Amino acid sequence: MVKKRGKSLYVYFKPFKDKKIGVRIDAATIREAEQIEGAVLRACRTGNYAGLDPIARETCFRMFRNQQWEMPEELSGYGNSAPREELSFWRASRIFIEYPEIHNSPRRPRYDMCLAHLAAYFGKDRSIKTLWVPDIKEYQAHRLQSGASPSTVNWEKATLSKLFQVLVETRLVEANPVRLVKNLPQKSEERQVYLAFKDVVRVSEQCPKWFRPIVWTAFYTGMRRGELLSLTRKHVNLKTRIITLTPEHTKEAHWKRVPIHQHLIPILEETLRVTCLGTDRLFVLIDGKSVRPLELETFKNPWPRACDILDLPEPWPRFHDLRHTWRTNGRRSGMDPQIAESIMGHWFKGKTVNDRYGRISNEELVRAIDAMTFDHGKTEILVASDRPSKKARKQRASKEKGNKRETIGEVQKKRPCAARA
């Protein structure tokens, strides 16, 4: 779009399909300005700046200089002083977080934490283009040595790969080196866990009051941590006794319906009475300061703290083990396997003919959950390898506390305009 401001002509457009910018064009007429706009737009979209005429070349040079973007090689020799800003890891992270599909993703808090660990190792000012396969493999080894689990390291590797994918799509880099690095094997993390009802009660009683409804919702529904975090009030229908999750709130990216057990109804009724301004989230953080939205980092703390208070023997039960326990309770209660799988939403299972054409009604789901019982034996925790000792975890936590990592989210809260690269 070309507009006239005073005696000058300005073009307003999105050269890279993300941010709309304005740049002055040295043209005598609007028609001439539109032609220059088209030439600059084609050059940005194709990455070929060599064929620009002198006026379009000068316009393109000023645009990159004003936006502090890395100058393309074809423009870097324009004039005698072409500024060149390397794409740092931290700036690339901000571009990644603000990318539409990432910015609105329910996994964004996890991406944020992964980027903080990556930036702490590589350095915020490290040029993103200098990262290659050996650097990524060294990072994997470093994280394992520092006590991170293989699944955590794989998550961080996947986040870095996603970041490079966004940079490739926006033509800021040409290749994604992370795709050349294999994931770490996770066999050592396999667990077979069943938590006795009385032990869940013990752990829940040591959790903060605001966290207890989350524990019992996970216990009676088998929902994942991410699904609980993103659960909103409109997802819960106590009349039909169904929780409806949309594709953007599930790991498998499909609609999912979760029946509400009778014992869970009063817990959800009490939770729905608490409201928080500015959010429709069902579960919120309630302390002496205020009522506010619950973040992933805060969500992770109460359960292990309760296990520590109870001085439970290692390996400790994990919050995710509530999901394992639900599946075992369902099988031991005689629940139909197809109904159990539809409630749990196993993302790795391919669709069968029954999945495609066999519709399970809300009434069937409610009948199945009402017939389910939740006390089928003692606690059993079988792991392929033990977690680090409590002493080692405390030492690591103390060290990390003294070297707190600043996340992308914290930077955006401090400097809301800084993320608009």
Q: Tell whether the model's pLDDT for residue 37 goes beyond 90.
A: no
pLDDT in tens, 348-371: 445 555 555 568 899 999 999 999
Q: Tell whether the model's pLDDT for residue 171 goes beyond 70.
A: yes
For residue 297, name the pLDDT band (cuts at 50, 70, 90): confident
* Token pair for 173: 């880099």
pLDDT value at position 346? 67
pLDDT in tens, 208-256: 999 999 999 999 999 999 899 999 999 999 999 999 998 888 888 788 9
Distances (CA, A) of 180 to 90, 117, 145, 158, 163: 22, 21, 22, 12, 15
CA separation for the pair 60, 23 (Å, rounded): 9
CA separation for the pair 319, 191 (Å, rounded): 13
Walk across the sheet containing 8-13 and list its strands: 2-5, 8-13, 21-25
1-15, 60-74, 79-93, 283-297: range with lowest mean pLDDT:
79-93
pLDDT in tens, 324-334: 999 999 999 99
Structural domains of the chain, with CATH: 2-76 (no CATH), 89-187+405-414 (1.10.150.130), 191-351+360-383 (1.10.443.10)
For residue 43, name the pLDDT band (cuts at 50, 70, 90): confident
Asked if residues 229 and 319 have their Cβ atoms less than 8 Å apart, the reply is no
CA separation for the pair 254, 25 (Å, rounded): 48
